[in-house]
Amino acid sequence: MVRVKRGVTKLKRRRNVLAQTKGYRFNRSTKERTAKEAIQHAGVHAFRHRRSKKREYRNLWSLRINAAARPLGLSYSKFINALKKADIKLDRKVLSELAQNHPEVFARLTSSLKS
């Protein structure tokens, strides 16, 4: 059987690992073993935070809707309840966009809910 020299493969793998940890501090960007550990932990955090990001954005949208609805005489919960009763199917992301960038449209929507 022919002898297989693994130097090229090993060096390529090492360079790939260290490229992924570029910008990390201390040994995490220079030592292969600690770099692998850093990549593993980074992946765990990335997975968890992709889910928490969805929660945080929904919370932000709710805050923006509430802030826009209060001066118009409605609280967030009453506003959402009125939307459901009027069978208006706009999600919180769109409502937040209206409240932030198009307040006159949001005011018209709110006035139509009141009457």
pTM: predicted TM-score of the whole model, two decimal places: 0.73
- For residue 82, the SS3 value is helix
* CATH number 3.30.450.20 is the correct assignment for the domain at 7-114: no
pLDDT score recorded for residue 71: 95
State the Cα–Cα distance between residues 19 and 30, nearest whole angstrom. Answer: 10
Mean pLDDT per block of 10 residues along the chain (115 residues) reads 89 96 96 97 96 97 96 94 94 96 95 85
Closest-CA residue to 33 (of 54, 13, 51, 5) = 13
Domain boundaries in the chain?
7-114
User: CB under 8 Å to 20, separation ≥6 — which residues?
Assistant: 35, 39
